[in-house]
């Protein structure tokens, strides 16, 4: 079964540098097969009977070798395709360059979701759906107040963002 591992915060601004060739080797050593990476931001498509076990081993190995916490968000191929098909902003025709998604590691509490402030970042919009937060950011990701830190603190989980073009490519890779 194909899975997607989304690593948070690697190779961003010269911090937490982890070459993709080395990351692929770590996944293979952890029991994954058919390992493919996409761009330098920690997107790994792989096959494994037990993706959670592979991710746990990879996280441990990254911490040992790189002294980096190795936060990984997993999605199965079907979950990724469902998320891609369910983006309300894409369905409404928003420009692709304004679309992003936060993938959440865990299912947040409903009360926490209801406590999110829709007016936090004027001009920007978000929709919570499943374990994803779909974003429409007309002024760009760099200017929004809808950050990982905000969502992680409010929802008590780990999230990682991807732009919509990257998500589209990842869907192709798991198909």
What domains are defined for the chain?
A: 2-78 (3.30.70.1280), 86-165 (3.30.70)
Answer whether 0.75 is exceeded by the pTM.
Answer: yes
The pLDDT score that the predictor gives to residue 43 is 94
The pLDDT score that the predictor gives to residue 5 is 97
67: pLDDT confidence band, cut at 50, 70 and 90?
Answer: confident
Cα distances (Å, whole numbers) of residue 65 to 16, 22, 71, 100: 11, 11, 14, 31
Tokens 């890779």: give the residue: 173
Query: Stretch 107-119: mean pLDDT, rounded?
Result: 96
Q: Nearest Cα to 9, choosing from 73, 78, 54?
A: 73
Residue 72 in tokens = 């990984």
Is there a contact between 66 and 16 (Cβ–Cβ < 8 Å)? yes
Q: With 90 as the cut, is the pLDDT of residue 66 above it?
A: no
pLDDT in tens, 5-44: 999 877 766 677 788 999 999 999 999 999 999 998 889 9
């Amino acid at each position: 079964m194909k899975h997607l591992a989304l690593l948070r915060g690697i190779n961003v601004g010269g911090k937490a540098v982890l070459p993709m060739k080395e990351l692929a080797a770590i996944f293979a050593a952890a029991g994954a097969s058919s390992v493919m990476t996409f761009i330098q931001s920690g997107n790994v498509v792989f096959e494994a009977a037990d993706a959670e076990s592979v991710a746990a081993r990879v996280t441990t190995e990254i911490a040992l070798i790189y002294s980096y916490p190795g936060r990984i968000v997993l999605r199965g191929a079907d979950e990724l395709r469902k998320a891609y098909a369910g983006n309300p902003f894409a369905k409404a025709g928003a420009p692709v360059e304004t679309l992003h998604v936060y993938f959440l590691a865990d299912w947040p509490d409903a009360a926490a979701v209801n406590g999110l402030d829709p007016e936090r970042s004027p001009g920007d919009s978000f929709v919570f759906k499943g374990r994803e937060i779909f974003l429409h950011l007309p002024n760009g990701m760099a200017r929004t107040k809808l950050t990982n830190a905000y969502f992680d603190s409010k929802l008590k989980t780990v999230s990682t963002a991807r732009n919509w073009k990257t998500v589209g490519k990842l869907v192709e890779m798991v198909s």
